[in-house]
Structure 1
Amino acid sequence: MARVPTGLRNFAILLLIWEIAGRMDLVASGALPGFSEILIRLWEDRADYPRHIWATLYASGVGFLIGNAIALIAGVAFAMSPTLLRIFRGVNIAVFALPPIAIAPILVLTLSDMAPRIVLAALAVYFVTMTATVIGISQSDNRASDLVKAYGGSRWRILWLVQLRSALPTITTGFQIAAPNAVLGAILAEFGGGGRWGLGTYLLGSLGRGEPDRLWGIGLIATAIAGLGYLFFALISRRLLGATRAVTLNTATPLGDAVSASPFKRVLMLMGIVSLPFLLWWAFIVLTGVPAMIAKTPFGVIDYLLFAKTAPVAQEKLLQALSETLPITFAGMAAGIGFAFLLAISTRLFPNAIRAFMPVALVTQTMPLVALTPLLVLIFGRGTSLTLWVTISVTFFPAFVTLAQGIALVPRSAQDLPRAYGASAWQEMRIVTIPASLPYLFAATRLTVPRALLGVMIAEWLATGRGLGNLLNQSRGYLDFGMIWTVAFVSVLLSVVLYQLVVAIERKVLRRLGMQTAE
Structure 2
Amino acid sequence: MSVPRSHGSARWWGLLALLALWELVGRGQWVAGGALPAPSAVLLQWWADRGDYPAHLWGTLRTALAGYVIGNVVAIACGMAFVRWRGAERLMAGVNVTLFAMPTIALVPILVIALPGETPRVVLAALSVYYPTMVATVLGMTQVDPRLVDLVHVYGGRGAAVMRFVRWRSGLPTLLSGLRTAAPAAVLGSLLAEFGSGGSAGLGTYLIGSLGRGNPARLWGIGLTATLISAAAYATVGLLARRVAGDSLPASVPLGRVQAQPRRRLQDWAWLLAAVAMPVLLWWAFVWLMRARGVSEVVLRDPLGLWQHLVASEQAPQHLQVLGMALLETLPPALVGMVLGLGFAFVLAVVTTFWRGLGDTLLPVSLVTQSMPLVALAPLVVLIFGRDWGGTLAITVSVTFFPAFVTIVQGLQLVPRTLDDLVRANGGRRRAWLQYVALPWSLPYLCAAARLAAPRAFLGVMIAEWLATGVGFGNLLNESRGQMDYAMIWSVTVVAVLVAVVLHAMTVAAERRLLRRFALAPA
Instruction: Give the TM-score range, shorter chain.
Output: over 0.9
Q: In structure 1, which of residues 164, 168, 185 is the aligned counterpart of residue 168 of structure 2? A: 164
Q: Is 2:42–2:217's contact at 8 Å kept on the other side of the alignment? A: yes
Q: Is 1:19–1:34's contact at 8 Å kept on the other side of the alignment? A: yes
Q: Is 1:249–1:410's contact at 8 Å kept on the other side of the alignment? A: no
Q: In structure 2, which of residues 273, 276, 285 is the aligned counterpart of residue 274 of structure 1? A: 276
Structure 1 counterpart of 2:248, one-letter code: T
- Distance (whole Å) between structure 2 residues aligned to residue 20 and residue 344 of structure 1: 28
Cross-structure match for 1:502: 507
Structure 2 counterpart of 1:46, one-letter code: R
The reply on whether 1:457 has 2:462 as its aligned counterpart is yes
Cross-structure match for 1:436: 441
Cross-structure match for 1:288: 290
TM-superposed CA distance for 1:458, in Å, is 0.9
Cross-structure match for 1:448: 453
- Distance (whole Å) between structure 2 residues aligned to residue 281 and residue 82 of structure 1: 24
Q: Is 2:133–2:182's contact at 8 Å kept on the other side of the alignment? A: yes
Cross-structure match for 1:491: 496
- Distance (whole Å) between structure 2 residues aligned to residue 148 and residue 470 of structure 1: 55
TM-superposed CA distance for 1:346, in Å, is 2.1
Structure 1 counterpart of 2:423, one-letter code: P
TM-superposed CA distance for 1:153, in Å, is 2.5
TM-superposed CA distance for 1:393, in Å, is 1.6
- Trace 1:157-196 onto structure 2 (pairs within 5 A): 157-196=161-200
- Distance (whole Å) between structure 2 residues aligned to residue 309 and residue 62 of structure 1: 45
TM-superposed CA distance for 1:194, in Å, is 4.2
Q: Is 2:11–2:358's contact at 8 Å kept on the other side of the alignment? A: no
- Distance (whole Å) between structure 2 residues aligned to residue 401 and residue 273 of structure 1: 29
Cross-structure match for 1:126: 130
Q: 1:229 to 1:86 in 2, by over 3 A?
A: same
- Distance (whole Å) between structure 1 residues aligned to residue 43 and residue 422 of structure 2: 52
Q: In structure 1, which of residues 345, 351, 354 is the aligned counterpart of residue 350 of structure 2? A: 345
Runs of 5+ consecutive residues of structure 2 not aligned to the other structure = none
- Distance (whole Å) between structure 1 residues aligned to residue 48 and residue 359 of structure 2: 36
The reply on whether 1:409 has 2:419 as its aligned counterpart is no
- Distance (whole Å) between structure 2 residues aligned to residue 267 and residue 392 of structure 1: 35
- Distance (whole Å) between structure 2 residues aligned to residue 459 and residue 30 of structure 1: 21
Cross-structure match for 2:397: 392
Q: Is 1:187–1:370's contact at 8 Å kept on the other side of the alignment? A: no
- Distance (whole Å) between structure 2 residues aligned to residue 197 and residue 260 of structure 1: 57
Cross-structure match for 1:307: 312
- Trace 1:21-40 onto structure 2 (pairs within 5 A): 21-40=25-44
Deviates more, 1:341-350 or 1:406-415: 341-350
- Distance (whole Å) between structure 2 residues aligned to residue 495 and residue 32 of structure 1: 33
- Distance (whole Å) between structure 2 residues aligned to residue 167 and residue 264 of structure 1: 33
Q: In structure 2, which of residues 72, 75, 89 is the aligned counterpart of residue 71 of structure 1? A: 75
Structure 2 counterpart of 1:266, one-letter code: D
TM-superposed CA distance for 1:154, in Å, is 3.2
TM-superposed CA distance for 1:241, in Å, is 4.9
Percent identical residues = 49
Structure 2 counterpart of 1:435, one-letter code: P
Runs of 5+ consecutive residues of structure 1 not aligned to the other structure = none
Structure 1 counterpart of 2:460, one-letter code: G
Task: Kindly tell me the number of residue pairs found equivalent between the two proteins.
Answer: 515
- Trace 1:357-368 onto structure 2 (pairs within 5 A): 357-368=362-373
Q: Is 1:188–1:370's contact at 8 Å kept on the other side of the alignment? A: no
The reply on whether 1:202 has 2:195 as its aligned counterpart is no
Deviates more, 1:489-498 or 1:149-158: 149-158
- Distance (whole Å) between structure 2 residues aligned to residue 33 and residue 320 of structure 1: 38
Cross-structure match for 2:472: 467
Structure 1 counterpart of 2:112, one-letter code: V
Residues 425-465 of structure 1 show CA distances to partners (whole Å, capped at 9, x for unaligned) of 21221111111111111100000011111111111111111
Q: Is 1:23–1:33's contact at 8 Å kept on the other side of the alignment? A: yes
TM-superposed CA distance for 1:231, in Å, is 1.7
TM-superposed CA distance for 1:370, in Å, is 3.8
TM-superposed CA distance for 1:157, in Å, is 1.9
The reply on whether 1:148 has 2:152 as its aligned counterpart is yes
TM-superposed CA distance for 1:404, in Å, is 0.9
For residue 415 of structure 1, give the secondary structure of its aligned residue in structure 2.
helix
TM-superposed CA distance for 1:50, in Å, is 1.0
